[in-house]
Amino acid sequence: MQIQEYTAAQIQAAVTAAANIADNWAQSSAQTRAELLRELGAVLVANREELVRLADEESSLGTPRLNGELDRTTFQLNGFADHIEAGNAFALTDDDAIAGAPPLGRPHLTRVRVPLGPVAMFSASNFPLAFSVLGGDTASALAAGCPVVIKAHPGHPKLSRRVFELAQTVLAKQGLSEGVIGFVEGASVDVGVALVRHPDIAAVAFTGSYQGGNALWAEANSRPRPIPFYGELGSINPVIALPAALSAQAEELAQALASSIEFGSGQICTSPGVVVLFAGADADRFENALRDALQTKKTHTMLTPGMKRNFEAGVARLTGTPGVQTVLRGESNSDDNAPPRPLLVRTSAENFIADHALREEVFGPACVIVRVKSTDEVVAVLNAVGGSLTVTLWGAENDSADVRRITRCATQIAGRVLFSGVPTGVAVTRSQQHGGPWPASTEPFTTSVGYAAMDRFLRPVALQSAPAWLAERAGRPC
pLDDT in tens, 176-209: 999 999 999 999 999 999 999 999 999 999 999 9
Confidence bin at 1 (pLDDT 50/70/90) = low
Exposure string of 300-333, with b = 16+ CB inside 10 Å and e = fewer, is bbbbbeebbebbbebbeebeebeebeebbebeee
Tell me which DSSP letter residue 129 carries: T
For residue 136, the cross-strand partners are none
Average pLDDT, stretch 410-436? 97
Extract the runs of DSSP E, i.e. beta strands, from 93-242.
93-95, 109-115, 119-122, 148-151, 181-184, 203-207, 229-232, 238-241
pLDDT in tens, 9-30: 999 999 999 999 999 999 999 9
Average pLDDT, stretch 413-417? 98
Q: Do you know the residue count of the chain?
A: 478
- Do 37 and 25 touch, CB atoms closer than 8 A? no
pLDDT at 3: 83
Q: Please provide the average confidence, as pLDDT, over all residues in the chain.
A: 96
Is-catalytic flag, 57?
Answer: no
pLDDT at 297: 93
Answer whether residue 255 shows pLDDT above 80.
Answer: yes
- CA dihedral (302, 305, 306, 311) in degrees, to 10, reads 50
Answer whether residue 442 shows pLDDT above 90.
Answer: yes
- Do 236 and 361 touch, CB atoms closer than 8 A? yes
Answer whether residue 130 shows pLDDT above 90.
Answer: yes
Answer whether residue 234 shows pLDDT above 80.
Answer: yes
Domains of the chain, earliest start first? 8-233+441-471 (3.40.605.10), 238-418 (3.40.309.10)
- Do 81 and 34 touch, CB atoms closer than 8 A? yes
Tell me which DSSP letter residue 266 carries: G
For residue 278, the cross-strand partners are 372
pLDDT at 92: 96
d(CA 207, CA 227): 17
Output the pTM of the full model.
Answer: 0.95
Confidence bin at 370 (pLDDT 50/70/90) = very high
Average pLDDT, stretch 85-110? 95
CA 353 to chain centre: 26
pLDDT in tens, 323-346: 999 999 987 777 888 999 999 999
d(CA 451, CA 430): 5
Tell me which DSSP letter residue 173 carries: H
Is-catalytic flag, 50?
Answer: no
Q: Which one of the listed residues 185, 232, 312, 361 is annotated catalytic?
A: 232
Percent of the chain at pLDDT > 90 equals: 97
pLDDT in tens, 257-271: 999 999 999 999 999
Q: Which one of the listed residues 146, 269, 367, 409 is annotated catalytic?
A: 269
